[in-house]
Amino acid sequence: MSARSLWCALREGEWFDKVWAATFPAIFILYPLDFILKLHTPWFHAMMYTTGILGPAAFIVGRYRFLTREFLPVYTRLETLCERVGMRCTIRTTRMRWLVNCVMLCMAFAMLLGVAGPIFWNRNLWVDGVRALASVCLSAGAVLIQVRLYSTVKEADRLIQCLEEGRGFGELRSVPHAARFILLLIPRRHREHLIGDLEEEFSSVVLPEYGLRKARLWYWSQVLTSIWPLFWAEVRRIAGIIVLWKSVR
């Protein structure tokens, strides 16, 4: 998935996409290589710091343009549609905050690599180690952000399509199917009421308040924490019956 998004950025992206897609794999390789092989040659360091500054800068420009041109219009449209069907779309704000944090983190790494690197050019093992680690984190984090952005926009597109075709209301409110399957493990006398309670809370309180992603996480947490006490009570009940039967026999 990460390699695919890198390839997409290289092939179809604008100039800054091409720059960061080309420099991040280089950063990923060059800095650890410098740390491991101790290649302290001027041309190697020039290459390292060029990629270390160019890559994050291009990435930040690219993400800013992506956010303003593609991400925000899609989510504004989704928000409008959600309001029309009586739901509050809080996905946008939470994800935006997450993205801004990630971009800030990238900037911090870029500063560390580009500015602090040449200052501590003293063959210090710790500085080299931190730099190598930071470069690996930066490259991996940037690719993760890219993947996340693409998948987020894709998901938003899917939801918009569902809502426009008039079938989105049900789909948006659906609970995770795998979790519902797990609930079949609950004893039958509790199953219907417990699932009903969870669905009522999911659709009427959690989903409008926190959005689909958090609501699904909430559903999963409730399912996983609810299974154990019921399962354990059933085990004890069966064990009690066996002990009683053995003593009567």
Partner 1 sequence: MPRFSSKIGVDTPSDLFYIVSMQSRTNRPDPLGEFETLVLMAVVRLGSEAYGMRIHHELESTARRRCSLGALYTTLDRLEVKGYVASQVGEPTPERGGRAKKYFQIKAHGERALKESYAATRRMAEGIEPLLGGGL
The footprint of partner 1 (CB under 8 A) covers: 186, 189-190, 192-201, 203-204, 222, 225-230, 233, 244, 247-248
Cβ distance to partner 1 smaller for residue 69 or 88: 88
Cβ distance to partner 1 smaller for residue 143 or 172: 172
Burial bucket for residue 34 (CB in 10 Å: 0-12, 13-18, 19+)? buried
Number of C-beta neighbours around residue 80 at 10 A: 12
Alpha-carbon distances of 160 from 89, 163, 170, 239, rounded to whole Å? 12, 5, 13, 52
The token duo for 150 is 């693409």
- What's the closest the beta carbon of residue 178 comes to partner 1, in angstroms? 17
Number of C-beta neighbours around residue 135 at 10 A: 28
- What's the closest the beta carbon of residue 196 comes to partner 1, in angstroms? 3
- What's the closest the beta carbon of residue 163 comes to partner 1, in angstroms? 20
- What's the closest the beta carbon of residue 221 comes to partner 1, in angstroms? 9
Cβ distance to partner 1 smaller for residue 122 or 225: 225
- What's the closest the beta carbon of residue 188 comes to partner 1, in angstroms? 12
- What's the closest the beta carbon of residue 78 comes to partner 1, in angstroms? 23
Cβ distance to partner 1 smaller for residue 45 or 190: 190
Q: Which single residue is written with the structure tokens 């990238």?
A: 106
Cβ distance to partner 1 smaller for residue 130 or 195: 195
Cβ distance to partner 1 smaller for residue 48 or 198: 198
